[in-house]
Amino acid sequence: MSGTDIEGQQISDELIDRIADTIGVSDPQKRGILTYHLRDIAADAEGYKLYKVIRNPSKLKRAFAQTVKDCDRLLRTLSTEPEGVTVQVANVTLQPFHRLLLWELAADRDGVDPNRALDDGTAKGIFDEHIGSITAIRDAAARACDGISDRVATGRGGRRHLRDWAFDEVLRQLVQLYEEVTGLTPRTAYSFKTKQAAGPLIRYLALCLPPLGWCLSPDAIRGQLRRLNGDRRS
């Protein structure tokens, strides 16, 4: 498709000016949207490319799946009092596992009295913060697992015919941004003068893609857009 020899270049103000002029975006608010999202896409693109260089995707997918299971198991453990450790005192059931765990978490926090924290809810708040971190790790591992599954979806012809997931995602986001800031339906044209694909969308993508790592001719961009549209309809 293309080279990725231009890695992680910054989307400069000068380039954004050229892109905005190319697609006729003069409204300051829309230019702000264009600037924010182009730089956001550039930052995300570097992460997307990690999926392209994976050598053992099936092993990595299993590792992420195992991480999800481990996090789920830990969350279940932390929400369940072990059997045989609860204490009944004056019609009150004490749960030493959770109480001691919350006490230690509170004691580890500077400026917090762990005994008072158990009664005023501070210890429970600290516990919930840590639970949220475990949940975030589990969800991130699940998304990474799904991303690898998408990347290694096979077709005929072996690895050289595998789809460039990173490019597909970046192209989709760039087209969506074009629609948002111009209000136009994405269309391409053909220039009989230059004998190649033309139009504002083509010129926009020809400016956006190289700093993100993909250098394509106008005709190649048009071909990728047609494939993207075919995927949308399928």
* Rounded-to-10 torsion of CA 221, 223, 227, 229: 70
Residue type for position 121: G
Residue type for position 137: I
Q: 196 to each of 3, 14, 19, 214, how far by Cα in Å? A: 20, 26, 20, 19
CB-CB contact of 67 with 137 (8 Å): yes
Full pLDDT tens readout for the chain, 234 residues = 443 333 434 689 999 999 999 999 999 999 999 999 999 999 888 777 776 666 677 888 899 999 999 999 999 999 888 888 877 777 666 788 998 999 999 999 999 999 999 999 999 999 999 999 999 999 999 988 887 766 555 433 344 445 677 888 899 999 999 999 999 888 888 778 877 888 999 999 999 999 988 889 999 999 999 888 765 543
CA 84 from centre of chain: 44
Q: For residue 87, give the DSSP letter.
A: E
Q: Which residues, other chains included, contact 60 with Cβ-Cβ below 8 Å and sequence gap of 6+? A: 54, 148
SS3 191: strand
The whole-number pLDDT of residue 3 equals 39
The whole-number pLDDT of residue 132 equals 94
The whole-number pLDDT of residue 44 equals 85
The whole-number pLDDT of residue 151 equals 59
Q: What's the CA gap between 189 and 27, in Å, rounded?
A: 25
CB-CB contact of 22 with 207 (8 Å): yes
Closest C-alpha to 211, from 8, 1, 2: 8
pTM of the model: 0.54
CB-CB contact of 178 with 41 (8 Å): no
